Structure 1
Amino acid sequence: MSWWHDLPADEAFGLENLPYGVADLPGGPRVVVRVADHALDIAGLAERAGMESGRVWDSPSLNAFLDQGPEAWAAARAWLQETLRGTERDDCVATHLHPLADLTLRLPIDVADYVDFYASEHHATNVGRIFRPDSEPLTPNWKHLPIGYHGRSGTIVVSGTDIARPSGQRKAPADPAPTFGPSRRLDIECELGFVVGGASMIGEPVPLDHAWDHIFGVVLLNDWSARDIQAWEYVPLGPFLGKSFATSISAWVVPMAALASARVALPGQDPVPLPYLRGDAAYGLEIACEVDWNGTVVSRPNYRDMYWSPAQMLAHLSVNGASIRSGDLFGSGTISGPEKESRGCFLELTWSGQEPVTLADGSPRTFLEDGDRIVLRASATGANGSRIALGECAGTIRP
């Protein structure tokens, strides 16, 4: 039965979405594309169709496909949609569809470099008020450039991976000296992660109007953060051990082509950025997110509220001549809006622990306890009024 021809209009992983991932198939890990609650082995499908170019999908990561560039990405998407909408290859499609319930999903990319930005004015303002109550909440450079830090690519894990509570040095303002031990203020950050494809040479910046040619797709990202470790270490060089212990991403990479209908203007940038950060490519995305804490949705941030565009982030990342590679990943920074219920981390949501959140079971929470489970979800409007979902980004805290 060719059930994919009769998907309901509200199917969030329908033919207008077709996100890519990597799954353990009977012949080994391979690139797949998601169709509702199934994964399509596209290497197998391409082989049956006699496509030599399909070899890039016979791989345990998306990196070889990312190397092909935007024309190949568009051609692959068009071929997949045409094949799935037509009837000529229904038998072949059916042969290469696997129920997701029978599969293990892997990290979809071999992460090359990882950078995380700080692109929400609401988040940066709230954090500034919490950490520097007697100073201006935004640092003088914040509205002139997308601020970011370099993370550890080796500790990026796929959704569903348990997160071990990190240990490190902690020192509250009233403590006479630092102590060492497990973080007591473990937090999350609801973000988007942008997957880079194609390489540039050292010394050759990626200009703003070419940035989207290198942004293949988007994942949900949780930048787990140990706030007590972070607060003691971050001056003068910024985040280090408070964030490098783990970053979770969703298993599915939604191609940017699926999000064309989600494009929106930025909220407004004042002062006007320098010329290398100005242009039509500097737009945002309307992607509604939600943060689920042990089964209770505690926040609903929306990516449309972000101050800096993904294209501006990539242009700034490379403007000094830093090269990019397929498999690079850059995070948006915490997605937060103007209302309390749209704050994308618990530091903000509980105002540094002063305003606990009550979960559905009646338990109060400020920061994460052992056994707590966080699930990030997100969706956007797609072509023809469809709904585009990003895969869940989930993690459970263990001691």
Structure 2
Amino acid sequence: MPEQSPFDLAEGDPFGPHNLPYGVFSTADAPGQRRIGVRYGDQVLDLSALPSALPAAIHPHAELLAAPTLNPLLAAGRPVWQQIRAAVRTAVTDPAHRDEVAPLFHPLAGVTLHLPFEVADYVDFYASEHHATNVGRIFRPDAEALTPNWKHLPIGYHGRAGTVVVSGTPVVRPHGQRKAPTDEVPAFGPSLRLDIEAEVGFVVGTPSTLHESVPQEAFRDHVFGVCLLNDWSARDIQAWEYVPLGPFLGKSFATSVSAWITPLDALDEARTAPPARDVPLLPYLDDADTEPGGIDLRIEVRINGETVSRPPFSAMYWTAAQQLAHMTVNGASLRTGDLFASGTVSGPDPDQLGCLLELTQGKGPYLQDGDEVTLTAWAPGPEGARIGLGEVTGRILPAG
């Protein structure tokens, strides 16, 4: 039986020519050499070698593609992103180039995937009205579920970039202080209420200048792509520490991201209007006259192989463009490799909740040692195709 060509995809493969997400990989014969690749079906196309195969189309960008991380490509800006994406699509779809391109593929199962970019800053938002309302009812049963500022601005916190890890990296149960309402003093030890947060991350490419804000209209000029993200949360540590300044050690021990970054342009068909707003927005957040800022992503959360939730990203109240505008409205600058996350994605239905806190009404059970959590997602693409986002997986290891 002849060996299947890497160009031949299974019908409905969500990693076809309309997707082409970027990652960084190494091979068993050269484990110390990290290379930029694009996922195509169950193969990885080595972009560092593509300029020699398609010199006319992509040679001017050879230095960017020879880097061991995506950061130089991210910094190059949208015109370059579009040129390279077009060349890659030609490489995998034009039969005239098959002989030159075929040797550049590596089976996905045979490579090691790495964190695809160096994270500069990490910001996490709180953009789902359903999630914020559910959590408010759990934590403040006798008060309004949403805080007074929630519908006026995208609430967020500045996280820890150094503990962002690639999918497949084990997550060690963190230690910290915790105090139950009935306890007189706090105790110290491993978290007993370890949770997940199913989120979507946005990767910044083009930086901005200090003291200059980035309007919503400039979103595509600065944001390179999208990935799935799991913002692991130690709820007992978080509950004791977060008053009055917010999340800290209950969040900073690990944040998992996909090994694949899907370009924004791959999600054009999935653009959708966000939910109707019932509170007038200040001009810099008003998106009434901008392109639809929502994205129709269908997320699935599995724990130990069992599907526990299917959160819809289209239900998010605040869009990524609004988050970017708010993040920079005070003059804070963007840096290449900045990562900002949507916050927990939850929908209105019981099977659409993005964390165990919501799924169990705060009662648990939470994650046990040995549990493995996997997030997957897809979005509608052109011609009926599905655009897959790279999965995010992490297994819980006992506290050290």
The verdict on a shared fold, with TM-score over 0.5 as the criterion, is yes
Cα offset, 1:4, TM superposition: 4.7
Judge which range, 247-256 or 77-86, deviates more.
77-86
Partner of 2:52: 47
Contact kept, 8 Å, 2:9 with 2:16, in 1: the verdict is yes
Cα offset, 1:372, TM superposition: 0.5
Partner of 1:292: 302
Judge which range, 194-203 or 6-15, deviates more.
6-15
Counterpart secondary structure, 1:136: coil
Listed one character per residue, the Cα deviations across residues 86-127 of structure 1 (whole Å, up to 9, x for unaligned) are: 122212211110011110000011000000000000000011
Residue number among 154, 165, 177 corresponding to 2:185 in the alignment? 177
CA distance in 2, matches of 1:6, 1:101: 17
Listed one character per residue, the Cα deviations across residues 149-186 of structure 1 (whole Å, up to 9, x for unaligned) are: 01100000000000000010000111111010000000
Counterpart secondary structure, 1:104: strand
1:89 aligns with 2:88: no
| TM-aligned CA distance change 1:80 to 1:282, over 3 Å | same
1:38 aligns with 2:43: yes
Contact kept, 8 Å, 1:9 with 1:386, in 2: the verdict is no
Partner of 1:359: none
Q: Which amino acid aligns with 1:56?
A: L
CA distance in 2, matches of 1:111, 1:5: 32
Partner of 1:362: none
Partner of 1:69: 77
Q: Which amino acid aligns with 1:254?
A: T
Listed one character per residue, the Cα deviations across residues 36-72 of structure 1 (whole Å, up to 9, x for unaligned) are: 0110011201133330312211122111001111111
Residue number among 330, 334, 341 corresponding to 1:331 in the alignment? 341
Cα offset, 1:326, TM superposition: 1.1
CA distance in 2, matches of 1:311, 1:241: 28
Judge which range, 19-28 or 71-80, deviates more.
19-28
Contact kept, 8 Å, 1:208 with 1:282, in 2: the verdict is no
Cα offset, 1:304, TM superposition: 0.4
Counterpart secondary structure, 1:109: coil
CA distance in 2, matches of 1:57, 1:268: 42
Q: Which amino acid aligns with 2:246?
A: G
Cα offset, 1:34, TM superposition: 0.4
CA distance in 2, matches of 1:13, 1:229: 39
| TM-aligned CA distance change 1:100 to 1:4, over 3 Å | closer
CA distance in 1, matches of 2:172, 2:291: 39
CA distance in 1, matches of 2:107, 2:81: 25
1:368 aligns with 2:378: no
Counterpart secondary structure, 2:284: helix
Ranges in structure 2 where 5+ consecutive residues have no aligned partner? none
Counterpart secondary structure, 1:272: coil
CA distance in 1, matches of 2:370, 2:356: 16
CA distance in 2, matches of 1:377, 1:287: 10
Residue number among 230, 243, 268 corresponding to 1:235 in the alignment? 243
Counterpart secondary structure, 2:343: coil
Contact kept, 8 Å, 2:271 with 2:292, in 1: the verdict is no
Partner of 2:173: 165
CA distance in 2, matches of 1:2, 1:8: 11
Contact kept, 8 Å, 2:53 with 2:101, in 1: the verdict is no
CA distance in 2, matches of 1:270, 1:73: 37
CA distance in 2, matches of 1:11, 1:58: 28
Counterpart secondary structure, 1:143: coil
Listed one character per residue, the Cα deviations across residues 223-275 of structure 1 (whole Å, up to 9, x for unaligned) are: 00000000000010000000000000010001111111101100111212110
Judge which range, 267-276 or 230-239, deviates more.
267-276
CA distance in 1, matches of 2:4, 2:48: 20
Contact kept, 8 Å, 2:200 with 2:341, in 1: the verdict is yes
Partner of 1:210: 218
CA distance in 2, matches of 1:337, 1:166: 29
Contact kept, 8 Å, 2:6 with 2:105, in 1: the verdict is no
How many corresponding residue pairs?
388
Cα offset, 1:379, TM superposition: 0.6
Contact kept, 8 Å, 1:261 with 1:381, in 2: the verdict is yes
Partner of 1:390: 389
Q: Which amino acid aligns with 1:206?
A: V
Partner of 1:350: 360
Partner of 1:363: none
Partner of 1:12: 14
CA distance in 1, matches of 2:307, 2:73: 36
Listed one character per residue, the Cα deviations across residues 350-386 of structure 1 (whole Å, up to 9, x for unaligned) are: 0001xx6xxxxxxxxx100100100011011111110
Cα offset, 1:6, TM superposition: 3.6
CA distance in 1, matches of 2:86, 2:60: 17
CA distance in 2, matches of 1:252, 1:6: 21
Counterpart secondary structure, 2:337: coil
Counterpart secondary structure, 1:45: helix
Partner of 2:123: 115
What TM-score, normalized to structure 2?
A: 0.95
Listed one character per residue, the Cα deviations across residues 177-230 of structure 1 (whole Å, up to 9, x for unaligned) are: 101000000000000000111111110111111112111111110000000000
Q: Which amino acid aligns with 1:287?
A: L
Q: Which amino acid aligns with 2:317?
A: Y
Name the Cα RMSD after superposition. 1.2
Ranges in structure 1 where 5+ consecutive residues have no aligned partner? 357-365
Cα offset, 1:281, TM superposition: 3.9
What TM-score, normalized to structure 1?
A: 0.95
Counterpart secondary structure, 1:320: coil
Contact kept, 8 Å, 2:260 with 2:389, in 1: the verdict is yes
CA distance in 1, matches of 2:300, 2:291: 27
1:137 aligns with 2:145: yes
Identity %: 56
CA distance in 2, matches of 1:281, 1:66: 23
Contact kept, 8 Å, 2:299 with 2:313, in 1: the verdict is yes
